[in-house]
Structure 1
Amino acid sequence: MTDPLSSPSASGIVADAVRGHWADTILPVWMRPYARLARWERPIGWWLLLWPCWWSAALAADGAGRAWPNPWHLVLFLIGAVAMRGAGCTWNDLVDREIDDKVARTRSRPIPSGQVSVRQAQAFLALQAFVGLMVLLQLGGFAIVLGFLSLGVVAIYPFMKRYTDWPQAFLGLAFSWGALMGWGAARGELALAPVLLYLGAIAWTIGYDTIYAHQDKEDDAIVGVRSTARLFGERTRGWLIGLYGLTVALFGAALVATGVGPLAFLGLAGFAGHLGWQVWRVDIDDPDLCLRLFRSNRDAGWILFAGLVADGLRHLF
């Protein structure tokens, strides 16, 4: 019997994949469809999953008087983010394979195009989930329980675009879970600060994923997929102001609740400025710009993280 993860696959390129990426140039041909299934050539997804983890870890360390977050935890969260983002994309493509086949941008993805069979995708999903589990088991008992509690919302997210205009909110519930994990792994408990960080990250996720969803709104309308992009429509800029404003307010409240110093607030100010720039620049009828603004949230994450780490370093003096 052929191993589903070692079978040769077609080497066709996915329409919305990044051209010339190492996933399509360096990897063996048989492995490339799996790289596309996990979106390895589009790292923005795991960055957005990683940031709440790293912010929370840095906030927990700063609030406890430590100069920096646990480096081993940061490495584990990085590995876990890549693995679980890939698993989530694989699960999403399994659930959405019939919808993807009807949308121009997604019909060339590995499953609807036949590069990867459903059984092969299921095996790949299990492999990535196993890596995520191995990471989770290194984080301590409290964080392990927290991690397992996230599985419900992760499992139902791909279905939400069929039943609600707010699938981005469910994405936020799943992608922001790291705001609880970072603190839980560092301290073995939760407090008000990580909960505020989690709520703020949900608002942030709804905002940036609304921008992203404007790329597909015409196709989504044809196939009946619902989204906040379609719901907000021409009122998107106003909604972004509200969502991003709520993000900054909740993050600020988390910093106050933790009792951090001024450099953390300086990082938050820079983060807020970046979100304001996105609102100012957004054009919901320019798909390329929407994609660039969506991807720019990686940089927004660096700004906030840098402020938190810099503030923690003051404990050395």
Structure 2
Amino acid sequence: MIRLLIVFLSLLNIANANALQDAIDKAPSGSILKLPAGVYKGSIVIKKPLSIIGKEAGVVIDGENHGTVIQIKSSFVTLKNLTIINSGDRHEGLDGAIKVFKASQCEISHCSIKNTLFGIDLQMVKNSIISDNNITSKDFELGLRGDGLRLWYSNDNIVKNNRLIKSRDMVVWYSHGNLIEGNYGENNRYSLHFMYAGKNIVKNNIYKHNSVGIFFMYSQDTIATGNVIQSSIGATGMGIGLKDVSNFTIKDNTIIYCAQGLYIDRSPFEPDTHDWIENNKILYNAEAMHFHSLSENNIIKNNIIQG
């Protein structure tokens, strides 16, 4: 694939809603658009392999409080070193900063997302990288914010070193084979919420002052290791929850200052399976482990329970 380097000049820094979209439409597939500092007003849609990279700090794409700021409808798209602000606020439209749809081999990295309802929304996306992004939602009540990161039917992705602050949830639904590593979440609702997901790896994440640290539901064949969950808030603030899950390994995690350290409900769920809970530090929680409904065939060993 031939790559063409395009450097935008200051002419494009004016408040022209169509200038950036026009440049995208005219660029050959595989082009790299390097943007100088400035505010690029208006939402954009990318329908071809393309890279948009902030040449320097201060490259802002402003959605002007309408819809989703950037929509990606192609594989092999890269967004890097951008500030993305001001999506719409409609939940039914999943208004947000970036929506990627039916794509693979995409990368979104080193972006700052502010005042958008949802952050990064991956729908049927595979083999892509989401890394080193800072994400906050709109300044709404917790339940009315959008999710900072969403994986929906999205497999074999790397989600690494992102910071989600004052968002709602990070969700991984119907998504398999993903690596969730080194992320930080604070003042959210569910730091990380899985449903109907399998063969994911969750490691070395830090979650503080959220309602729930990590909650796994209706999932299987997943490893959670090296995570730190601290000070989950409220009377039922939870560290790690397991609901109807099978063949899980929960190992070498630290859960501290929560109302409930581990919540276990009908897990393992599938017959003739086990869940392994070992070598965790469960410290100074109001309740170290809470077993709800029938939960048997767990292997629980070598955990430190204190306080």
TM-score, normalized by the shorter chain, greater than 0.5: no
TM class, shorter-chain normalised?
Answer: under 0.3
Q: TM-score, normalised by structure 1?
A: 0.22
| Higher-RCO chain (CA-CA 8 Å, sequence separation at least 6) | 1
Higher CA-based Rg: 2
Q: TM-score, normalised by structure 2?
A: 0.23
Greater strand content? 2
Greater helix content? 1
